[in-house]
Amino acid sequence: MQFPWRRAVAGVLAACCAAHSTSFGQEPALLQIRIIEGEGAVHTVGTRASQALVLRITDESGRPVPGASVSFRLPDEGPSGTFQTGLRTEVASAAADGKVAIRGILWNRTPGPIQIRITANKGEARSGTVSAQYLTEPTASAKRSGEPTTTAVLPQIKIGPSRSKWTILAILIGGAAAGGVAAASNRGARTSPGAPPSSPPAAVALPSVTIGPPSIAIGKP
């Protein structure tokens, strides 16, 4: 004698088991890697990255895939660096929201573009991509900071009342005359005793001075 209710119960149990395996035990058929922070960042050679490289791992429907294993690999030569472990490879696991973050990469001293290879896998599903970074040398202005300059800047003199103008004029004329007398004395001192001078000393030319209300302009003699 057959019992129809047994078939019904068996069907219900099979359906429940299938639903359970679909909701909790089924691995994603496809993984997607999306870089959400740090893509295309520019770093100075010889420094440690201050910006994190953040990814999100999802399935074909866009749902996060927690526990997915994500590996990162830096180039073996040329512009490159090392992770905080001191190696060029790093492996991390996706969090409950599917995010993975890598921080503190120490860049080498070779400028140029870098491609960080990224691979994610969960069960039989696997996916890969690359993240573009760039290493640059210090700014050119910093390199030129030690070069000598050839431009001389004269200080500006502010003029007060008219009495101060004549005082400054007298100082300038007196200083120029003193400089001419000192130059003539030096030429006379270099002449040997008893020998007539080769040429008479040149007259000392004083610079022309123009006094205006806002400033003093000193031109050539």
What pTM, to 2 d.p., does this model score?
A: 0.54
pLDDT in tens, 78-108: 999 999 999 999 999 999 999 999 999 999 9
3-state secondary structure of 121: strand
Domain 27-138: CATH architecture, name and number where available: Sandwich (2.60)
Max CA distance (Å), the chain: 155
Neighbours of 90 (CB within 10 A): 17
| Residue 182: band (very low, low, confident or very high) from pLDDT cuts 50, 70, 90 | very low
Using the predicted structure, report yes or no on whether residue 220 has a pLDDT greater than 60: no
Q: Supply the pLDDT for residue 77.
A: 96
DSSP secondary structure letters along 17-57: HHHHIIIIIPPPS-EEEEEEE-TT-EEETTSB--S-EEEEE
Domain-wise residue ranges, the chain: 27-138, 155-183+205-221
Q: How far is Cα 29 from Cα 200, in angstroms, rounded to an integer?
A: 105
